[in-house]
Amino acid sequence: MGKEIKWLTYDSTVGELYDSPVGHDALAKVLLQIGLPEKVITNKAVSGLKLRTIANLTKKQLGTDFFDALLNLVDSEHDEPRASKGKITPKWWKEVVFYQIYPRSFCDNNGDGIGDLQGIISKLDYLQKLGIDALWLSPIYDSPNDDNGYDIRDYDKIMEEFGTMEDFDQLLAEVHKRDMRLIMDLVVNHTSDEHIWYKQARQPNSPYRDYYFFRKDDGSHTPPNNWTSFFSGSAWNYEEDTDSWALHLFSKKQMDLNWENPRVREDVIAMVNRWLDKGVDGFRMDVINYISKEEGLPQGNETIGNLMGFPGIEHYYYGPKLHQYLREIREKAFEPHGAFSVGETPGLGMKMCQLVTGEERKELDMVFSFDHLETPGHVRLEDYEYDLNYFRDYMIDWMENYGNNCWMSLFYNNHDNPRMISKITKDASHHTALSKLLAVMQLTLKGTPFIFQGDEMGLANYDFTSMDQITDVEAKGYYAEHIGKESEEKVFADILAGTREHARVLLPWNKKLPPCHEGLYQKPKKEVLYAYRRLLRLRHEEKAFVYGSFRVLCRKKDRFVYARALEGKVYVVDCNLGAKPCMAFRLKERCKIVYDTVRTGKDERGNSGASNAVISRKLRKGGMLQGYEARILRIL
Ligand code: NOJ
Ligand code: CA
């Protein structure tokens, strides 16, 4: 456990606030949100100011209780994160490359237009040939599909459209037969309102009532607090028959579980154990940092709500019992099975992530944090161009400061995001080069790569033309909320830029698509597939890319050059992050190109490009990199 940090008060300084883990991450998040640099806070003139002074100066803009809310949040964490520079503990989940499958849109085996488990089984050889050694399946449990399976009706049943439990058992056996691993999605912040627990809980005297958050209406017929749902509108449903309100941070059919209730924790842990007993290798844990809500569910601070877009968030995104709950589930389920955990933790910054993933703390093995997915000052549902220079700076910060006792996940895409290559530029002529550049960084940086289905095909965003093609509950909620306030054109452009639907269209190897997606097709790019295969092979062969040290060699505009080294073997990765050609990085040492996104050749064996030896000679004289070109060199 880290050492205790000093309790902060209004007499503390901005610098002290920024030194505390939660204060640091909260302020960093606010800066990110409004697009201001860190030095706004770290410059001496500001960092030495007392919070009282700042509170007085900003009373008009931030309101009187902004700092109360911030201090309250900071006070919830007295441990200090630890970032060790020592040896990295070897683990299988640090050495593998994961592939995320969104079952509904991966592979449809029976021709009904919906992906299924037999479809996944039929593609295991393809995945193995690609070099994948672990799979993460988005939810496959029985669900009414209000949020495509993230609203679970029965944790012990397979979604009918996907198959049966026999199909699942076969899938797991086939995965293991290939020496691959499989992790499931654990969605336990909420259940579907059709889950038996919730159905029971709707009876006022049921023992299940306390499994969820119900609040009797106080006569005002307004929700108990100002918390909003991530899918628009209030986070509360009014239930007329009992004259009460029920909490849902996500859709109206995703009801939040009350983790304060020990029976909820017992039931969840028993369910996790049933799946682990079956032999699954671990779980990705959905919005797991939201499971502990502050007692009394207090009103959210308005300023924080406006800044973050979600009023109330400070009361549950790093709740007071989060560490306790994570330890409990780890101790009683994960650890006895040697299972792996990766938490989805939106909103957590680096220090908070260190506090949930530090290996000595025994909470989570790894997390997905999301602050690298948008350039500062921008949000996902917004039409803008992502700046890879920000990605570079973010990565360098994490590579250098996260610590060897923590381990990072590396990803650009998942089922909740549009494709990164389209976010960087809509100009399709750059997309192949970009796909390969992103693959090079993902497979040579320090952390565990999670490839999202279709990345290896070079898939980009789809040209949706109307809301009829968008099935996702988030985009629909966004549309309904914004349509009266902004022009239809603007609302649709923002949805088109950021909707999760881009990641949810059936992969191109499927013949029949559901009617709403009919005609949406992108030809898979073989060249990108071959690049992934080669890079995966390289990563598996060279442990320097897993456990090696990381050193930045160049971080000028549009340039990202770094070295990974282990036991005397040194690799240099030279990336051009811009669309224009640039000078290649000049190394004094003799070196050999082991991979180059442009020159290595575009066929399966890497033939047809100029030979590496030739490039190596040219390189010593300088040489150029084309737009978005990346190359991996080994120092001889
Ligand atoms: C995060 C999941 O990734 C997303 O798809 C889902 O809508 C929410 N959690 C709610 O479960
Ligand atoms: Ca099917």
Cβ of 187 below 6 Å from ligand 1: yes
Q: Would the pLDDT of 17 be above 80?
A: yes
- Which is it for strands 181-186 and 244-247: parallel, antiparallel or unpaired? unpaired
The closest residue, in CA terms, to atom 4 on ligand 1 is: 416
Q: Token pair 């789809």 is at which residue? A: 462
Which residues are paired to 343 by β-bridges?
A: 285, 367
The closest residue, in CA terms, to atom 8 on ligand 1 is: 150
* 8 A C-beta contact, residue 283 and residue 272: yes
Cβ of 411 below 6 Å from ligand 1: no
Distance 289 CA to ligand 1 centre (A): 12
Threshold 0.75, pTM exceeds: yes
The closest residue, in CA terms, to atom 2 on ligand 1 is: 286
Apex 374 CA angle, 132 and 441, nearest 5: 35
> Within 35-136, where are the H helices?
39-42, 44-47, 51-57, 59-62, 66-74, 92-95, 117-122, 124-130
Cβ of 456 below 6 Å from ligand 1: no
Distance 565 CA to ligand 1 centre (A): 37
Which residues are paired to 236 by β-bridges?
A: 247
pLDDT of residue 603: 73
Element (H, E) at 100: strand 98-101
Please state the rounded mean pLDDT for residues 472-488.
95
Q: Would the pLDDT of 2 be above 50?
A: no
End-to-end alpha-carbon separation of the chain, Å?
Answer: 42
Q: What is the dihedral of CA 244, 246, 247, 253, to 10 degrees?
A: -150
pLDDT of residue 616: 60
Q: Would the pLDDT of 387 be above 60?
A: yes
Within 8 A by CB and 6+ apart from 338, the residues are: none
Q: Would the pLDDT of 457 be above 80?
A: yes
pLDDT of residue 382: 96
DSSP sequence for 355-376: HHH-GGG-S-SEEE--TTSS-T
Ligand number nearest CA of 104 is 2
Cβ of 424 below 6 Å from ligand 1: no
Distance 123 CA to ligand 2 centre (A): 14
pLDDT of residue 7: 83
Residues designated catalytic: 286, 344
The closest residue, in CA terms, to atom 11 on ligand 1 is: 150
Per-residue pLDDT band for 544 (boundaries 50, 70, 90) equals very high
pLDDT digits 0-9 by tens, 115-124: 999 999 999 9
Q: Would the pLDDT of 48 be above 80?
A: yes
Per-residue pLDDT band for 618 (boundaries 50, 70, 90) equals low
DSSP sequence for 228-254: B-TTSSBSEEEEGGGTEEEE-SSSTTE
DSSP sequence for 135-191: EEEPP-EE---TTTTSS-SEEEEE-GGG--HHHHHHHHHHHHHTT-EEEEEE--SEE
By most ligand atoms within 8 Å of CB, the mutation choice from 150, 152, 184, 191 for ligand 1 is 150
Cβ of 286 below 6 Å from ligand 1: yes
Cβ of 287 below 6 Å from ligand 1: yes
The closest residue, in CA terms, to atom 6 on ligand 1 is: 150
Mean pLDDT of the chain: 95
Cβ of 472 below 6 Å from ligand 1: no
pLDDT digits 0-9 by tens, 224-280: 999 999 999 999 999 999 999 999 999 999 999 999 999 999 999 999 999 999 999
Q: Would the pLDDT of 1 be above 60?
A: no
Per-residue pLDDT band for 599 (boundaries 50, 70, 90) equals confident
CA distance 616 to 623: 10
